[in-house]
């Protein structure tokens, strides 16, 4: 079996973000890379650049009309893509396409056996719907990755695990009726935080009824709350036996984030990463791709995500 950890990084994905005091600023990539270097981990991972996702790849998840709308609004500048969270700017279409292509590069490298784990810091844009931008997310790289894992790589059962403070509504509702997309999401209770969804009773619909795991937490939940819920995620994954694990490890669930009040320590993120690797190895394939997601306190995102990369390296 292959070894090594692939890191998708570089100017192409660093550009994704919003200026003018927006929490998702374009400085987040650098904050992570500096910490990776300070810990001497940059020399231990293989680095790869992102590529722009093709129109066909974007259309595996998004509608053609929505993709056109993003292109038009980015070219025109100024307008928001949603109700005020996701401003359009010249170049946004391209930057958002690179994020998707970066996650696809990560997934492809794992599927081709070049590495068992890969991480992309600017990725995990889990709020974008098939036909709509939302909450800082233009194109849903996780959603495109799930679709391409099936169409291009022929996988059937794929797990999506999300510990960002916000509910991953863009993924949840896109695959709500699909029993082959395992979904486990720890997040702050929607009564207290955007986007307001992800109640425990939301377990899927139609053929997927009863198959999804939404685990809302009290708005000030700490590591002990995290660990109690995390046990359920592990049991869920072991029973579901996915062929691939996508991990959205948003650092906005760490104490001190300006947008949320969850109080995990960065150890939660490292623990989750280590356990997911162990589960994937136990299933015989070892396939795990981590995506940074949210995280607006730069110190926190740097520590949480380097902890995830360290856990990936330690699992080798
Ligand atoms: C994955 N919280 C994304 C998380 C998306 C959260 C929200 C902001 C925010 C937006 C700004 C801004 C902000 C300081 C914080 C109901 C509203 C309130 C727009 C101002 N500063 C992820 C989305 C969330 C935009 N949205 O999961 C421009 O905070 O609560 C809301 C919605 C309506 C729109 N207004 C905010 O972590 C990557 N937005 C500064 C400038
Ligand atoms: Zn978030």
Tens of pLDDT along 288-306? Answer: 999 999 999 999 999 999 9
Q: What is the dihedral of CA 198, 202, 205, 207, to 10 degrees?
A: 110
pLDDT band at 3 (very low <50, low <70, confident <90, very high): low
pLDDT reported for residue 157: 98
Q: What residue's CA is closest to ligand 1, atom 3? A: 135
Centre of ligand 1 to C-alpha 129, Å, is: 16
Centre of ligand 1 to C-alpha 212, Å, is: 26
Ordered alpha helix ranges (H), the chain: 11-14, 28-38, 55-59, 64-76, 92-111, 141-151, 169-174, 223-240, 266-282, 298-314
Tens of pLDDT along 143-180? Answer: 999 999 999 999 999 999 999 999 999 999 999 999 99
pLDDT band at 1 (very low <50, low <70, confident <90, very high): very low
The whole-angstrom separation of Cα 201 and Cα 261 is 23
Centre of ligand 2 to C-alpha 25, Å, is: 14
Q: What is the ipTM of this complex?
A: 0.99
For residue 6, the cross-strand partners are 46, 118
The whole-angstrom separation of Cα 231 and Cα 184 is 11
Structural domain range at position 232 = 5-314
Centre of ligand 1 to C-alpha 22, Å, is: 8
Closest ligand 1 atom to 87 CA: 28
pLDDT band at 78 (very low <50, low <70, confident <90, very high): low
Please list, in sequence order, all residues whose beta carbon lies within 8 angstroms of the beta carbon of residue 33, skipping any fewer than 6 positions away: 9, 42, 121
Q: Quick check: 69 pLDDT over 80?
A: yes
pLDDT reported for residue 205: 98
Q: Quick check: 36 pLDDT over 70?
A: yes
Percent of the chain clearing pLDDT 70 (strictly above): 98
Q: Are 29 and 112 in contact (CB under 8 A)?
A: no
Pocket of ligand 1 (CB under 6 A): 21-23, 83-85, 125-127, 135-137, 164, 166, 194, 250, 252, 259, 293-294
Q: Which two tokens stand for residue 233?
A: 């995620």
pLDDT reported for residue 76: 85
Which CATH number does the domain housing residue 29 bear?
3.40.800.20
Q: Which two tokens stand for residue 294?
A: 């949210």
Domain count of the chain? 1
Q: What residue's CA is closest to ligand 1, atom 35? A: 84
Task: Please give the mean pLDDT across all residues of the chain.
Answer: 97
The whole-angstrom separation of Cα 229 and Cα 303 is 22
Centre of ligand 1 to C-alpha 219, Å, is: 17
Q: What residue's CA is closest to ligand 1, atom 40? A: 22
Task: Establish whether the linkage from the previous residue to 195 is cis, with ω within 30° of 0.
Answer: yes
Please tell me the pTM assigned to this model.
0.98
pLDDT reported for residue 101: 99
Q: Which of 310, 306, 221, 312 is nearest to 35 (CA)?
A: 306
């Amino acid at each position: 079996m292959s070894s090594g950890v692939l890191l998708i990084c570089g100017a192409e994905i660093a550009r994704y973000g919003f200026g003018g005091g927006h929490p998702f600023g374009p400085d987040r990539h650098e904050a992570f890379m500096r910490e990776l270097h300070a810990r001497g981990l940059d020399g231990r991972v293989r680095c790869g650049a992102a590529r722009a996702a093709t129109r066909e790849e974007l259309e595996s998840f998004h509608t053609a009309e929505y993709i056109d709308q993003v292109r038009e609004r980015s070219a025109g500048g100024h307008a928001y893509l949603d109700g005020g969270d996701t401003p359009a700017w010249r170049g946004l279409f391209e930057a958002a396409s690179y994020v998707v292509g970066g996650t696809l590069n990560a997934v492809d490298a794992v599927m081709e056996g070049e590495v068992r784990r890969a991480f992309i810091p600017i990725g995990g844009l889990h709020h974008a719907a098939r036909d709509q931008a939302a909450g800082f997310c233009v194109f849903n790289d996780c959603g495109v990755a799930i679709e391409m894992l099936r169409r291009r790589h022929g996988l059937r059962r794929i797990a999506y695990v999300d510990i960002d403070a916000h509910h991953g509504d863009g993924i949840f509702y896109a695959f709500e009726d699909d029993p082959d997309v395992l979904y486990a999401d720890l997040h702050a209770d929607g009564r207290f935080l955007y986007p307001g969804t992800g109640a425990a009773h939301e377990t899927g619909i139609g053929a997927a009824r009863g198959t999804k795991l939404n685990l809302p937490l009290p708005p000030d939940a700490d590591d002990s709350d995290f660990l109690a819920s995390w046990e359920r995620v592990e049991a869920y994954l072991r029973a579901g036996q996915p062929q691939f694990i996508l991990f959205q490890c948003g650092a906005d669930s760490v104490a001190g984030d300006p947008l949320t009040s969850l109080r995990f320590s960065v150890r939660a993120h490292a623990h989750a990463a280590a356990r997911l690797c162990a589960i994937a190895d136990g299933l015989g394939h070892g396939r795990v791709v981590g995506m940074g997601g949210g995280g607006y306190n730069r110190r926190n995102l740097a520590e949480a995500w380097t902890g995830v990369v360290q856990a990936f390296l330690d699992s080798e």
